[in-house]
Amino acid sequence: MRYLLLVFIVFFISCSETKDISHLQIFKYNEISGINSLDPAFAKDLASVWATSQLFNGLVQLDSNLIVQPSIAKSWTISSDKLEYEFLLKDNVFFHNSEKSNLDVGRKVSAYDFEYSFSRLLDDNIASPGRWVMSNVKGFNAINDSVFLIKLKSPFPAFLGLLTMQYCSVVPKEIVEATDFHSNPIGTGPFKFQLWQKGEKLIFRKNTNYFESHNGEKLPFLDGISISFLRDKQAAFLQFILGNLDFLSGIDASYKDEILTKDGSLNEKYINKINLSKQNYLNTEYLGFYSKDTLSPIKNLKIRQAINYGFDRQKMLKFLRNNIGSPAVNGFIPKGMPSFSENVIGFNYDNEKSKQLISEVKEMNNGILDPVVLSTNASYLDLCEYIQNELGKNGLEIEINVNPPSTHRQMVATSKLSFFRASWIADYPDGENYLSLFYSKNHSPNGPNYTHFNNKDFDRLYELSLSETIDSTRFNYYNQMDRIIIENAQIVPLYYDNVLRFTQKNINGLSNYPNNMLNLKRVKKLLVNP
């Protein structure tokens, strides 16, 4: 262990810049998964979203309560038919200056820049994974320098939430078309690009011309951001414990029991050294049933119900996840989403009910019940084995099939699996994002309905919700749809996830967001640990 620590210390020293930056507030974190592009049009994974969100802005943004707030847009109006969105832009937003370019950077952002940026998302030659954000957009155009208009094909109340995604960031045409924008980005954000040594480090520095302030102080407070790329989670954890990283997100099996108790609190030896914060995360972990499977026992509603009743979710979380998350005993919409409701009653642990249902199905089949095959990847094998063991006690044999992660994702997305583990992380902060997985017109592979659920009442409510702009009424539709999913036992909700964040004691102002956004513009770093 001492040898490993020495290696990591030497590595970080060798990679550091020679000039003295000890007086600067530099926020340091590690990105295990790596970053392929700093172009927001390609910000499809969390690592890219975190990085690009420091460099770019869109029309609107989310606060920590997932409420849409102004960003580059000062205000907006929505037409009475809910099809036209008109945005009035702020007049003090400028693209970053760049010492590496003689092109027109440092200029004021206009509505024509948004016209270009949105058109770029739709460009077949660009092939942006964010193109789908524009799927319900009929057209858009700059009215003048300050006014930008978007027209929808049909009403969609969650549209403003969609616009908060990094795909919708504004970019300068003259820079995009004249440079390698993936590696040399120019944006409007609180930080601007400085240096990228692929696979080693990524450096952003403070944008002194940023347009936002907080309590009368100009943002950002930090002088810069330094991102390292250690691929080993245990190595990144060691660097955090040594104080070489300011921030650690999430938890891994390699250090879970080292830093957390079984109840999910900090182990005593770390209480005075680091901080831990938890937040409901817009992620539901679940098991899904393919509705068109006519051969497996899962075609029987009673078997699907028996699986839902047959294991203790709270116990599972305590012993396998150190109480990270909440038992999913309501619907599919997770805690943290504004439309989550405890009035949607899901499946609580009822072992006797599970046994009874399994016994009834066996009696209908002359005492014979074929095994059920559950597909997963290795990361969730312990959860699946727990469910396998518990249901086995009740008379239902579950066989587990372990696939490589990429293979498993592909098989889920193309509905090749009868019974599968999956998760759904919200793309935008509206319950519709979750319920779209059960709308019959979204059957995979052309949509996210991997179970091929088909219910007329559900579809009717879903279509009603799309034109309802009053939140309370729309949420009522969502709750009704959630109940239909539960009544049909189309899934086995496992848990609603948590965002876990560990920070050094000298980090202040790092807010938690239910969508796991990394917002560093209000963060302060004390130069001396308290």
- Under DSSP, is residue 340 helix (H, G, I), strand (E, B) or coil? coil
Task: Average the pLDDT over 405-411 and give the result.
Answer: 94
The least confident of 251-260, 331-340, 344-353, 475-484 is: 251-260
**CA 496 to mean position of chain CA atoms:** 13
Type of residue numbered 370? D
- Which of 161, 7, 15, 138 has its CA nearest to residue 83? 138
What are the sequence ranges of the domains in the chain? 24-246+506-525, 281-497
Indicate the burial class of 44 (C-beta count within 10 angstroms; 0-12, 13-18, 19 or more).
Answer: middle
pLDDT in tens, 425-445: 998 999 999 999 999 999 999
How much is the average pLDDT of 478-492?
A: 98
Among residues 497, 77, 500, 126, the alpha carbon closest in space to that of 286 is found at 497
Q: What is the pTM of this model?
A: 0.88
Q: Which residue has the higher pLDDT, 255 or 56?
A: 56
Task: Please state the CATH superfamily assignment of the domain spanning residues 281-497 in this structure.
Answer: Dipeptide-binding Protein; Domain 3 (3.10.105.10)
Structure tokens at 523: 């963060």
pLDDT at residue 165, rounded to an integer? 96
Tokens read off for 83: 């099809």
Residue 336 to residue 352: CA distance in whole angstroms: 32
pLDDT tens digits, 256-290: 889 999 888 999 999 999 999 999 999 999 999 99
Q: Which position has the token pair 């155009």?
A: 141
Alpha helices in 22-140 (DSSP H): 46-55, 111-121
Q: Mean of the pLDDT values across residues 474-483? A: 97
Residue 400, burial from CB neighbour count under 10 angstroms (0-12, 13-18, 19+): middle
Confidence at residue 7, expressed as pLDDT on a 0 to 100 scale: 40
How many Å apart are CA 517 and CA 515, to the nearest integer? 6
- Residue for token pair 């109840």: 263
> What are the structure tokens assigned to 249, written together?
């997100």
Average pLDDT over residues 370-395: 96
**pLDDT recorded at residue 22:** 67
pLDDT at 12 over 50: no
Tell me which CATH homologous superfamily contains domain 24-246+506-525. Answer: Periplasmic binding protein-like II (3.40.190.10)
- Which range among 1-15, 53-67, 201-215, 235-249 shows the weakest confidence by mean pLDDT? 1-15
Residue 154's SS3 state is coil
Give the pLDDT of residue 198: 87
**In percent, how much of the chain has pLDDT > 70?**
94
pLDDT at 529 over 60: no
What are the pLDDT digits (tens) for 202-237? 999 999 999 999 999 999 999 999 999 999 999 999
Please state, in angstroms and rounded to a whole number, the distance separating the CA atoms of residues 377 and 368.
29
Q: Read off the DSSP letter of residue 270.
A: G
Confidence of residue 20 (pLDDT cuts 50, 70, 90): low
CB distance 481 to 438 below 8 Å: yes
